[in-house]
Amino acid sequence: MQYIVLIIKKIVMAIAMLYTVNLIVSSTGIIIPINVLSISFVAILGLPAVIGLTVLEQLM
């Protein structure tokens, strides 16, 4: 039961992180799509994944 709660916390925090980054960098025209793949990357890797997704979005 504790593992399920931990996984749900990580998923909610990943969604919140992506939404916050989208709010901050939206003035520059960079928008990271919030989908299952990006949420899972951020839930597993944390802040480095957010930075990586931002860089990838800017390069594309």
Domain edges within the chain: 2-59
Q: How far is CA 43 from CA 20, 27, 29, 39, 48, in A?
A: 15, 25, 24, 6, 11
- DSSP state at residue 27: G
Question: Tell me, what's the pLDDT at 32?
Answer: 87
Each residue's pLDDT, cut to its tens digit, for the chain (60 residues) gives 899 999 999 999 999 999 999 999 888 888 888 999 999 999 999 899 998 988 888 888
